[in-house]
Amino acid sequence: MKPKISTLDSDGYGGFAPRMRARCPRSRKVFVNCPVSLRGRVEPWGACPRPRKVFGFPRLASDTGPAFDHGSPRRPDGLGVMGAVVELLKILGEGLRSVAPVIGILLVFQLIIFRELFQNWREISIGLGLTALGLVIFMKGLDIGLTPLGEQAAAALAQRGSLILVILFGLTLGYGATLAEPALQVLADRVENATAGALGRTLFIQTVAVGVSLGIAVGASRIVLGIETTPFIIPALALALTLTFFAPERYTGLAFDAALATTGPVTVPLAIALGAGLATALDRGDILIYGFGLVAFAALGPVLCVLLLGIILGEPS
């Protein structure tokens, strides 16, 4: 909205400047900014709930409150380019802190305890740098993309109020998130090589994905029905312990490893966002009781499914 110029008034610096008036499109109140300094300074006479959209002028930083200027380009918040660089360095520092303990332990054992130098230290250094950078990018993407998407989906499901739709969404989400887990891909390759193809990579991944999808669907249904976690967790744990007596020994450790591999950086944020979002949108009261526990269901599902697969296939050759 173009402001109307009314009168001239002193700007406080020995000059004169136009008195500005405009109507806020939200509150429908008339606000006056006076004076508009010839030096580009504005002392506000009124405040708008959304000052960036009142006068059509870019918002400037001021000691006394929001200020506006005539057609000048918007000044970025913070320190501009330097602020962006500092923020980027902070993000990189967080990624380095995440992998620094593991790298430090490996270096101590390799150089001090084993007293052996790395033969390909250049490749290792480049790989560690790429690992830290990839972790930073991935975690930032989860923070601004995947997690908000899961929260919005949970809110939309709560508005629909359909248990069948929640189950279908849990099945689809669990299956898709499992296929995207990098740790599960590594575990599946090792299993296929260790069994000489007796337990194929595709069969193993599909079994784990089915278990995760069933676990998230059951956990999400529990939240919709308003049932606590204990009546579901105890029978599932008892069933898992029972199946370990009938499954081949080689599948026992593999089943629990699969549960840990699939609850990684993709499944866990989505499961937490879905559980907390459903509990909040449905107003279940205590979020710690109803909003959490979905990751546990996502971990128990693969344990049960892999143990059942071992009973069906028998001892791998």
204 pLDDT more than 90: yes
24 pLDDT more than 60: no
Query: Could you tell me the pLDDT band of residue 33, with boundaries at 50, 70 and 90?
Result: very low
What does the alpha-carbon distance between residue 127 and residue 133 come to, in Å, rounded to a whole number? 10
CA 134 to chain centre: 15
Read out DSSP for 262-308? HSSTTHHHHHHHHHHHHHHHTT-S-HHHHTS-HHHHHHHHHHHHHHH
Check residue 12 and give its pLDDT.
Answer: 43
Check residue 185 and give its pLDDT.
Answer: 92
Q: Nearest Cα to 311, choosing from 240, 244, 238, 253?
A: 244
Check residue 62 and give its pLDDT.
Answer: 39
What does the alpha-carbon distance between residue 213 and residue 133 come to, in Å, rounded to a whole number? 30
| pTM score above 0.95 | no
What does the alpha-carbon distance between residue 179 and residue 176 come to, in Å, rounded to a whole number? 5
What does the alpha-carbon distance between residue 281 and residue 114 come to, in Å, rounded to a whole number? 55
Tell me the average pLDDT across 259-267. 87
65-82 pLDDT, tens per residue?
Answer: 444 444 444 444 445 778
> Would you state the structure tokens that stand for residue 213, as one six-digit string?
């999808």
